[in-house]
Amino acid sequence: MRKLNTLLLLLATVSLWAQGPNLEKDFADVEDKVIEWRRDIHQNPELSNREFKTAEKIAKHLKSLGIEVQTGVAISGVVGILKGDQPGKVVALRADIDALPVTERNDLPFKSTVTSEFLGKKVGVMHACGHDTHTAILMGVAEVLAKNKDKIKGTVKFIFQPAEEGAPPGEEGGALLMVKEGVLENPKVDAIFGLHINSQTPTGTVKYKPGGAMAAAQRFVINVKGKQTHGSQPWGGIDPILISAKIVDGLQTIISRESELTNEAAVISVGKITSGVRFNIIPESAEMIGTIRTLDYDMQKFINKRMEEMVPAIAKAYGGEATCTIETTTSITFNDLDLTAKMAPTLEKVAGKENVSIHKAITGAEDFSYFQEKVPGFYFFLGGMTPGTTESFPHHTPDFKIDDSGLLLGVKSMTQLALDYLNM
């Protein structure tokens, strides 16, 4: 088996060497287009499950390339199917297309001034996570591959996914809905690749991690019931705010004292506490909402169990009552070990071995994980920060920026991953 894997890697390298030079002109021709598409999409962002104009732009481009197009997938998603001149396997390439309810604060000439409604409030809308770059990169990959059908041994499925940031309350969406609607079938996908731009990694570099690369995300809601009383007479009631504070403190001991963190990292964060209406009234109830991040399913089960035990017990100790409900929003983004080992040499050949590294697990989450639950998948990070700069801003912030010079490496990487996989 070891000899067979070595032979497969050698064949992949030979395939890349043979095909790469023939694609250089196509890559050069598409770079300016990718940057133009990215800037247009950035200037016209749309929130999750509302990406209709973005989808229209994508579909129009794919159709112009002679690619079979499906629209309205998972509400506003687009799927393109490109059949090569030779029979073979099916590989999927995925890009997410939605923006965030963030008001852009930088001075880019193509900055977003779009506003929309989110949870009943007027908000700015911004591609503050780089999904505009993902979309433009995959549009560029589609153009290069469509020009090289003779090099495709099999079929490429382009998945432009809406609502990666989460569907609006009461709606389904994202990768989970795409899977539910059969996006990995007809034709059946054998493997899937995806990337994420990173604003704090220098352009020209690529990072990946075999196995658990990004965390599973869970949302929890804790409802605390006390007894209302006058603020000057706390002994006359049961304070749900005090109980909430004790619960927050208790939850952290699950991580710091009960979880075996030498195995994997884990996080419990309370992001919102709502209680009370007036400064001199101890209220009757409180609500806490937060997130759990885990990279190991056994640890996730343990943490969930302890939260469900601890929350009502702490409330009872102070005379109140409390319930804890937990729902999973994304699974662990798990890079298939065999697929990762086979495809990492492609990234090294495209970017240069010195520019490819293995990163530590990230407690952020990605619903690309739902595709990986069904088929082997490989997800990697692409540098988007200007090399040598001292100014970089985190994702999901108003000042977030990406250096356009990093996009071409994304096009090359995804294109070559598809070709090499199909030629193995």
Beta strands in 316-392 (DSSP E): 321-330, 333-335, 356-358, 377-385
The residue annotated as part of the active site, out of 96, 104, 132, 164, is 164
Residue 365 contacts residue 333 (beta carbons within 8 Å): yes
> For residues 383 and 199, what is the distance between their CA atoms, to the nearest angstrom?
7
Which positions ≥6 away from 301 have C-beta within 8 Å? none
CA dihedral of 100, 96, 163, 128, whole degrees rounded to 10: -10
Q: How far is the first Cα of the chain from the last one, in angstroms, to the nearest whole number? A: 15
Q: Phi first, then psi: what are they for 209, rounded to 5°?
A: -145, 125
Among 361, 240, 386, 247, CA closest to 308: 247
The residue annotated as part of the active site, out of 46, 51, 96, 98, is 98
> For residues 214 and 80, what is the distance between their CA atoms, to the nearest angstrom?
27
Whether 98 is catalytic: yes
Residue 159 contacts residue 183 (beta carbons within 8 Å): yes
> For residues 117 and 47, what is the distance between their CA atoms, to the nearest angstrom?
9
Among 391, 324, 381, 417, CA closest to 130: 381
Distance from chain centroid for Cα 413 = 18
Cα–Cα separations (whole angstroms), residue 263 to 272, 297, 349, 397: 29, 11, 32, 31
SS3 content of the chain, % helix, strand, coil (to 5): 40, 30, 30
Which positions ≥6 away from 347 have C-beta within 8 Å? 206, 208, 356, 380, 413, 417
Residue 214 contacts residue 369 (beta carbons within 8 Å): yes
Whether 287 is catalytic: no
Q: Which two tokens stand for residue 151?
A: 């090099």
The residues annotated with a catalytic role in the active site are 98, 164
